[in-house]
Amino acid sequence: MKRTLILGDTGLPKRSNDLLEVSNRIYDGKKHESWLLAFSPDQENLPEGFERIILVQDEGNICEDARYICAIIMDLHSTYAFDAILIPGTWIGRMVAPRLAKRLQVGLVAEINDVKTRDDALEFVRTAYSGNILSGIAITSSPPIILSIKPGIFTWEQKSGVNTIIQNYTKKLQSPSSLTCLKRKQRSVSYDIRDSKVLVSGGGGAKRAYPLLETLAKALGGEVSVSRKLVDQGIANRTIQVGQSGKIVNPRLYIAIGIDGAIQHVEGLRNVETILSVNTHSDAPICSISDVVVVGDAKIFIEKLLQRIALENEGTIHDQYRGERK
């Protein structure tokens, strides 16, 4: 039986099972097992759908040490010989995947966003040349297949219950890392935009209005995200950047304020139900993919909308979007 190991998403553990969809596509209906390597002492909130979860007690921030994670995966692989190892394309995953491929002397297909079958061979699709083309890559090396997967692309839909075996990983490996964690700093952004149902997103044209984005997001029951422009200018934190080098998001409502709509930004929008864009230029690329376009100034738009929300019966506007996804 084919066996896949999936490295858990430490930032958003409940999204770890999205990678089950990749495993299902690789084995295309053939019988296989998917195992999860999770760094969490919280047994109550473990993701579903895995045949086995290997639980590592995260003492001393192991889940943020790529070398340690690699050493654990290598150890598990020497016992269980996985056919595929799937790594989420998070900041830590991006450090783990190439290290692992090097140690196992196999190829790595990084940041895939699709799995296809062509002439009976598997093909992994990823973007190239700053998102301008899609390239299909076939793996010819012997197993395991190692892939890192762009977060937010695949969604797993539970079909039938799976009985999960929980196994504690108790081995104390000698630390392969020369790094020591001296102090842990609290993240300045407490939410993950991949989980947001309403995003108020600011770009280069919303610089002047940036402080108002949060007020609007709160009024609509959502969170703030940004384009890379505001991150590069040091105005916003990289953790809330949408796009190719940021995060892929799938809110029900995405309000793009002063965002031009470069391909690298739009690549971060998946399954968004409604896009509303506000731009001084009606020919900005974002307008052509928007459901509603407001031509005008970012700050004036936000101020007027906030006034309108204040006048509306509380909740009328955002209840429409806050409900659970269908």
Ligand X SMILES: Cc1cc2nc3c(=O)[nH]c(=O)nc-3n(C[C@H](O)[C@H](O)[C@H](O)COP(=O)(O)OP(=O)(O)OC[C@H]3O[C@@H](n4cnc5c(N)ncnc54)[C@H](O)[C@@H]3O)c2cc1C
Annotated binding site: 227-228, 241-245, 258-265, 279
Selected binder of ligand X within 228, 239, 240, 269 (CB under 6 A) = 228
Select from 67-75, 76-84, 102-110, 221-229 the region that touches ligand X (CB under 6 A). Answer: 221-229
Q: By C-beta, is 175 or 245 nearer to ligand X?
A: 245
Selected binder of ligand X within 18, 65, 223, 297 (CB under 6 A) = 297
Question: Shortest Cβ distance from residue 297 to ligand X (Å)?
Answer: 4
Query: CA nearest 32: which of 41, 22, 42?
Result: 22
Question: Shortest Cβ distance from residue 129 to ligand X (Å)?
Answer: 9
Q: By C-beta, is 228 or 252 nearer to ligand X?
A: 228
* 264 forms part of the interface with ligand X (CB under 6 A): yes
* 204 forms part of the interface with ligand X (CB under 6 A): yes
Question: Shortest Cβ distance from residue 153 to ligand X (Å)?
Answer: 14
Query: CA nearest 196: which of 254, 146, 239, 265?
Result: 254
Q: Which helix (H) or strand (E) holds 215?
A: helix 210-219
Q: Which helix (H) or strand (E) holds 155?
A: none
C-beta of residue 121 within 8 angstroms of C-beta of residue 138: yes
What is the bridge-based pairing of β-strands 114-118 and 121-128?
antiparallel
From CA 279, how far away is CA 145, in angstroms rounded?
A: 44
From CA 5, how far away is CA 21, in angstroms rounded?
A: 13
Considering CB under 6 A, how many residues would be counted as binding ligand X?
27
Selected binder of ligand X within 66, 198, 219, 278 (CB under 6 A) = 278
Binding pattern to ligand X, positions 115-154, x when CB under 6 A? ---------------x------------------------
Q: By C-beta, is 15 or 228 nearer to ligand X?
A: 228
From CA 62, how far away is CA 55, in angstroms rounded?
A: 12
Question: Shortest Cβ distance from residue 286 to ligand X (Å)?
Answer: 7
Q: In what order do the strands lie in the sheet with 198-202?
A: 223-226, 198-202, 253-257, 274-279, 292-295
Phi, psi angle pair for 203, to nearest 5°: -130, -165
* 194 forms part of the interface with ligand X (CB under 6 A): no
Q: How many CB atoms lie within 10 A of CB 115?
A: 20
Query: CA nearest 153: which of 9, 278, 274?
Result: 9
Select from 52-60, 167-175, 216-224, 237-245 the region that touches ligand X (CB under 6 A). Answer: 237-245
What is the Cα Rg of the chain in Å? 21
C-beta of residue 90 within 8 angstroms of C-beta of residue 102: no
Select from 36-44, 119-127, 254-262, 312-320 the region that touches ligand X (CB under 6 A). Answer: 254-262
Select from 15-23, 142-150, 174-182, 259-267 the region that touches ligand X (CB under 6 A). Answer: 259-267
Which residues contact ligand X by CB under 6 A? Answer: 130, 203-205, 227-229, 241-246, 258-260, 262, 264-265, 268, 278-281, 284, 297-298
